Amino acid sequence: MAEQRALYAEIAKARHLCVIDCAGEMAEASDRIVREVLTDYEDNFGTLINGLLLSNPGQLNPGDREAMG
């Protein structure tokens, strides 16, 4: 497993991939992966859903003053 992990780390570095620590609960790791992927996607591609989320960011992030603009 250590060899396999080292190989994956080498591939990730060569491809400039984000490595996410998945130690702990599977649900937490899954949440981190989904958040990373969706954030990157929304940052790089204009979509209808992205526009909807940006139209009212305070609704999704009521405690985030930065999101409120």
Residues contacting 47, CB < 8 A, separation 6+: 41
pTM of the model: 0.48
| pLDDT per position as a tens digit, 22-54 | 888 888 888 888 888 888 877 777 666 666 666
Q: Which amino acid is at 57?
A: P
